[in-house]
A and B are shown apart, each in its own frame.
Chain A
């Protein structure tokens, strides 16, 4: 029989990361497909309140690793705490939220425990091919259907939003300490956390955002876009490659590493719709996508889609907006 499914919860400063609930939902669904139970693990220091909250789900057990060495997240300490536990309990799957913290250490944990590694699943189904997982490839332009092979534990992360936190079934889990048998030691010396500067523009306050992607083609091509933004009374924003190339300043980046906005109107011009961008704007009331590729994933999320060369379409749109407002 397959080992239980484990879920590693993420927390920071006494709060569960919202991806943790999504990971519990995924873990419960996976366990149901395998006919096994679900157990969760919480790591940190001074966790008693949070442990009480985390125990409020339908879990066979909540294991709490509460140690001063786990006060700050470091890969060394987290791998040191989890590796011996995974080796001895041999869960079938260990589910993580696909966060920057998880990705920082879970491949190392897989290597250390001779586990498989299945990053960023969107969904899975159980059928003739066994358990088949779906994950994005090529910047979300395509999906791969993947299954695991060989024996032993597999570490799997779930993409943000792929499973609904509301589906995590509540319950009352027995809480036990996670035995720390190996060396739990930091492998980096944390110096500081840098927050965004006060001089940064706050894009969350604007009702209309005109966002440009790599498809704009260069800083010298931004003139007509700025004119459209002025006509709409909009702020200018961008996807990451535009910022990385230095075409616009970093404080205009939308996405998982940038700002999260939900304006009334979001115009995505020459943006393909990669998940790291989408998480920062999917809450917008109305999304318009302009892209020359009819298969661009952004059209799956947009309310209105225009398949066009943005350099031809934008001046026409500016003229139409000006005419409508006149």
Chain B
């Protein structure tokens, strides 16, 4: 099977976040970036299916120059090719605008299956994969916790429901499956993989290459406009317990006994 996997590069969850100069987004200059968590699982699932079917994985990412690093990692992990959607016009898109651009690139490839993550760890729209499916006219499923490719062009899919229930169903391929973190154990890149990645093709496509007008993509093609970002007030809640570990632990135990009466 020929499988397309959409990977987004996002700030490391451990990173110290700051509001950027214009107040509209976080300061990105000194942030470490990583592959979005659920996308790592999507990539791993794609690689496993490709291995089982003698197929290939093509990794696709939309974003600034730095996303090439995420694509190189995907190549090191086993993708055969990578596509970078690179254009200033692509920046700042909502799920509809980003999905439109990704779909235009995916449509040129003749994939049998497209995998995305279920949600990006930065903007978290949870919708880009479904928008892609709409443009391609394929079925889709969000929050996928299991994929079994069946003979006859279908897949058996396990989808997470609330409170620990799972729904199992069959979909016709090609489809877009939006993978939830936890369905496999992503591999690590080997030195051999990293060396091999250097020779693998990494193509770049602009809006014009995809036949898209700048007004259809990125911030201009979006229905959402972010006015500002801020830190929610957290101060109000917790009573802070201060001191060295031993002192704080002693104080906490006293509070739990005498104030909260739970010990």
Q: Which residues of A contact B (CB under 8 A)?
A: 75-76, 99-101, 103-108, 110-112, 115-120, 129, 132, 136-150, 152, 154, 187-196, 200, 208, 214, 232, 240-241, 243-244, 246, 250, 253, 256-260, 264-265, 272, 285-286, 288-289, 295-297, 299-308, 312-313, 315-317, 319-321, 323-325
Task: Evaluate contact between B169 and A191: CB separation under 8 angstroms.
Answer: yes
Contact A305 B240 (CB under 8 A): yes
Contact, CB under 8 Å: A103 / B127:
yes
Interface size class of B (residues with CB under 8 A): 35 or more
Interface contact B224-A260, CB-CB below 8 Å: no
What are 22 A-B residue pairs whose CB atoms fall within 8 Å in the complex? A100-B162, A105-B130, A112-B134, A117-B94, A137-B123, A138-B13, A143-B231, A147-B227, A196-B165, A208-B262, A243-B182, A257-B163, A272-B13, A288-B252, A299-B234, A300-B236, A300-B237, A302-B237, A304-B239, A316-B246, A317-B249, A324-B263
Q: Is B77 an interface residue (CB 8 A)?
A: no
Distance in angstroms from A184 CB to nearest chain B CB is: 15
Q: Which of B26-77 contact A (CB under 8 A)?
A: 26, 37, 41
Which of A154, A240, A312, A317 meets B252, CB within 8 Å? A317
Tell me the nearest residue of chain A to B237, going by C-beta: A300
Tell me the minimal C-beta distance from B12 to chain A in angstroms. 11
Minimum CB–CB distance from B45 to chain A (whole Å) comes to: 13
Complexed CA–CA distance, A136 and B230 (Å): 10
For window 101-135 of B, CB contacts with A under 8 Å fall at 121-131, 133-135
Q: B182: nearest residue on chain A (CB-CB)?
A: A244
Q: Does B156 contact A (CB under 8 A)?
A: yes
Q: How far is the CB of B186 from chain A (nearest CB, A)?
A: 10
The 8 tightest CB contacts between A and B, nearest first, are A107-B127, A116-B223, A305-B238, A111-B134, A244-B182, A300-B234, A107-B130, A316-B249
**Which residue of chain A has the shortest Cβ distance to B96 in the bound complex?**
A117
B160-171 CB contact bits vs A (8 Å, 1 = yes)?
111111111111
Cβ A108 vs Cβ B157 within 8 A:
no
Q: Which of B1-30 contact A (CB under 8 A)?
A: 11, 13, 17, 26
Contact A144 B162 (CB under 8 A): no
* Interface contact A103-B99, CB-CB below 8 Å: no
Q: Is B201 an interface residue (CB 8 A)?
A: no
Contacting pair B234 A296 (CB below 8 A): yes
Alpha-carbon separation in the docked complex, A285 to B241 (Å): 18
Please measure, in the bound complex, the distance between the C-alpha atom of A2 and the C-alpha atom of B194, giving whole angstroms.
Answer: 55
Q: Do A258 and B127 contact each other (CB < 8 Å), given the known contacts A300-B236, A321-B253?
A: no
Which of A147, A264, A304, A321 sits near B241, CB closer than 8 Å? A304
Whether B165 pairs with A193 at a CB distance below 8 angstroms is yes
Given contacts A108-B134, A148-B224, A193-B168, 5 further A-B contacts (CB under 8 A): A111-B99, A117-B127, A129-B227, A142-B231, A320-B249
| B208 partner residues in chain A, CB cutoff 8 A | none
CA distance A115 to B126 in the complex (A): 16
* Beta-carbon contact of A139 and B250 below 8 Å: no
- Whether B227 pairs with A132 at a CB distance below 8 angstroms is yes
Residues of chain A within 8 A of B253, CB atoms compared: 317, 320-321, 323-324
Evaluate contact between A246 and B185: CB separation under 8 angstroms.
yes
Given A105-B130, A138-B26, A189-B170, decide whether A75 and B140 contact each other with a Cβ distance below 8 A: yes
Q: How far is the CA of A312 from the CA of B244 in the complex (A)?
A: 9
Contact A189 B169 (CB under 8 A): yes
A117, B95: Cβ atoms under 8 Å?
yes
Q: A265 touches which one: B131, B133, B262 (CB < 8 A)?
A: B262
- State the Cβ distance, B219 to closest chain A Cβ, in Å: 10
CB neighbours (8 Å) of A258 from chain B are 163-164
Complex interface residues of chain B between 165 and 198 (CB less than 8 A to chain A): 165-172, 181-182, 185
Which residues from A are CB-within-8-Å of B151? none
Q: Which residues of A contact B229 (CB under 8 A)?
A: 137, 142-145
- Report whether A241 and B181 are in contact in the complex, using a CB–CB cutoff of 8 Å: yes
| B143 interface residue (CB < 8 Å to A) | yes
Residue B142 is within 8 A (CB to CB) of chain A in the complex: yes
Question: Which of chain A's residues have a CB closer than 8 A to the CB of B211?
Answer: none
Q: Which residue of A lies closest to B180 (CB)?
A: A257
**How far is B262's CA from A305's CA once the two chains are assembled, in angstroms?**
16
Instruction: Judge if B141 is at the interface, Cβ distance under 8 Å.
Output: yes
Bound-complex Cα distance A208 to B257 (A): 13
* CB <8 Å contact, A142 and B26: yes
